[in-house]
Structure formats: structure tokens, C-alpha cells
Amino acid sequence: MSSIPFEEFSSVVTESGVESALDFLEQHFRREQDYFKLFEVLKMRCRNQLGLPLIYSNKPDNLDDAQQRQLEDSLLEACREIGILFFKSGKFQEGWMYLQPVGDKELNEKLIRKIEADEESIDALIDMAVSQGAAPVYGYRLLLKNYGTCNGITTFDTQANRFDAEIQKKMAEELLEHIYLELVENVRYSIENAEAESAEENSENILASSSRENCSLAEWLQMYPDLTAGGAHHIDTTHLASVMRIARPVDNRESLRKVSELAEYGSRLHEDFKYPGNAPFEDTYHDHQLFYNALLGKDVDKAVGHFLAKTAATEADQLGPVVEETYVEFLARLGKTTEAVEFLTERLLGKYESLGIAPPPFELADSPESLEKLRDFYRSSDDLLGYAVCCLKAE
């Protein structure tokens, strides 16, 4: 730096005072794009506006609550501004350092999506978006695209539980979409290769290439029922089994359709590739197919009877009533809240500590009938608070 800024600054301080001096520093560091030092200037401005010493010290500031809030709000606004400036200059890791305390998830995602995900930035970008929680769903999509299914499953199992249920569901949808498209593409490629090599190929039965690209997995299975004969499979079967479990929270119809088709494909695999799951989904593909189909409105009574039978055959183990709570949650998703509350009060409430799988009782009781059942339970259990909440909710 030349001596000119020093002389100019000295002149401003002498002739115009502190506020003008801060203006001078702010303009200078903006021109130089020295955002670390610009932040320090903005901090000094925040303190000066409250009549505080420009530099922090160990001596308390002695602010009242309103002044303290004003100082904190001003500092957060400074963090926001510096963070955005760093992002715009391509230094997203530095920008994220300043944006973290702001807690603006929408802004974080907007800025992160503008970053070019190339070989130099991709690892740091995924780490910031997923591991540091800046934009977990978008970051997870980048991870699947760049590092594949295996890394995606491992990341989901180790990190997704840090986020709320809605984020976990969206991450599950990303994984489901990734595996579904991978399997459909592999199936199409396998069939087209087999037909091209067949000397007895019948061209009249072969779909046009453009039509094949739009075929769903269900359509392929319908056209080629022996697709998995002889132990054939078109995707890592451990990945397929994992998505059955991970996709359970999805609730939009398109995702449910796709995971149901994956379950159908899995049910056709050779027994060597049908890995058992945990209760109540021990028969991984059969149990999940009933589960997902019911959520699509297919064979609902059959599925309800199937999972009810599992609760009768399974005692709650040392980890808690997994099967029972899963059944309650299943009923709730099917809109059978009265039946869910009835089962909950007969089999779970007051007997086991909740695992958090089933919805909370007061959330579950969303109809007059279900609320009455819950109220009667609390009365018979001498639980005045529970009874009172039911009565008040009914008002």
C-alpha cells in the first residue's frame, strides 16, 4: 500500500472525525475487495453508532436489552453483507464462515447454487452444503451425481439424522430418484444389447429407441417378465435393499410409485440377492411392496392386516416397540387415525417409552372419534393433564 491512503486517512480523521474516517476505510476496503478488513470496519461502525469504544475489550459494554439487540442485529447484518461479497467473489468457504451465524437457509441455498461445481470446488462445496448443513438437499444431490450411490447411502446413514424430518425426506427422494434412474437405464441398456446380439431378433416386437427412453421400470418388467431370471440383476442389490429402508418417509405420489416399482423388481430377484431387513420389514421386498402400495391406495386392507399380524407375533424387544410404533405410523399415513389411536392406547401408551416413530398422541388424534378415545384413556389412567389437553383440543 502506498503512503497516499495513510495521508488521506490522517487528514480525514483530523478534519472530519470518526464517522467520516470509517466512511473512508469502508470505501477503501470495498475497492480493494479486502472483505476481512471491511468486516472489522463495519463492526467498528456498529459500535460507534451506539456510542461504544470502537474496539472490543475485556471491559463490559453495559448495554441495556434494546441496545444489546441493536448491536447484535447490526453485527449479523454485517456478517450477511460480507458473506455475500465473498460468495460473489468466488470465495464461498470464506463467505460461509460469515453467513453461518446469520442462519438464513434460503440465502445460503441461493448463493450455493450459483457456485460452479467443478473439480476444484466440488469437495469443499459438498462438505459445506451437507456436512456443515448449508444446503443439505442440494449438496446431497451433488454428492450422488459426482460420487455415486454407495457414497450417497453412507452419507445418508451417517449424516441425515442431523437434519429435521422434512430435510431427511427430501434427501431420501434424491437417493430414490438417483437409484431409480440408474436401474431403468441399466435395464434398457441390457435389453437393447441382448436384442442386438440375438440372431433371432424380431424387429416388430422391438420398441422404437425414443419410446424405450421413456419406459418406466414397471413397463420394462411387464414387457420382460424374465428380466431377472437365472440370478440376473441390473444394479448393486445391497443398494437396492438400502433404498427400501431409506425411502420410507417419502410421501409424494411419484416417489411412492417409483419405490413401489423398485420393490417389485427386488421381489423378482434370485433368493441369493434378497437380503433380510429389520422388523417389521424382514422380508425386504415383499413387506415394503405391501407398505408402499398401500400408501398408493392399493390393497390397503391386506397391508393393514399384514402389519397388524406382525405386531401380534412380535414382543417389544429391549430397543422398544419398533413394530408397534411402525404400525401406528402406517395407520396414520393411511388416514386411519381412529384405529391408530385405539391401538396406541391399548398397546403402547403407559407401557413403553416412545421411540419417536409413531406421531405424538395429540397430533395423531385429529378427529372427534380419535380424540374421544384418547381422552377416555387418560381419564382411565388418572392422567388429568392428558385428559385436560384432549378436552381443550376438542373445544
- The model's pLDDT over 310-319, given as tens digits with 9 standing for 90+, comes to 988 776 555 5
More confident call, 219 vs 55: 219
pLDDT of 81: 96
Quick one: pLDDT band at residue 53, thresholds 50, 70, 90?
Answer: confident
d(CA 381, CA 374): 11
pLDDT of 131: 93
**192: pLDDT strictly greater than 50:** yes
pTM, to two decimals: 0.86
**251: pLDDT strictly greater than 60:** yes
pLDDT of 354: 86
Any idea which residue has 450477511 for its cell? 80
pLDDT of 199: 47
3 state SS for the chain: CCHHHHHHHHHHHHHHCHHHHHHHHHHHHHHHCCHHHHHHHHHHHHHHHCCCCCCCCCCCCCCCHHHHHHHHHHHHHHHHHHHHHHHHCCCHHHHHHHHCCCCCHHHHHHHHHCCCCCCCCHHHHHHHHHHCCCCHHHHHHHHHHHHHHHHHHHHHHHHHHHCCHHHHHHHHHHHHHHHHHHHHHHHHHHHHHHHHHCCCCCHHHCCCHHHHCCCCHHHHHHHCCCCCHHHCCCCCHHHHHHHHHHCCCCCCHHHHHHHHHHHHHHHCCCHHHCCCCCCCCCCHHHHHHHHHHHHCCCCHHHHHHHHHHHHHHCCCECCECHHHHHHHHHHHHCCCHHHHHHHHHHHCCCCCCCCCCCCCHHHHCCCHHHHHHHHHHHHHCCCHHHHHHHHHHHC
pLDDT of 162: 94
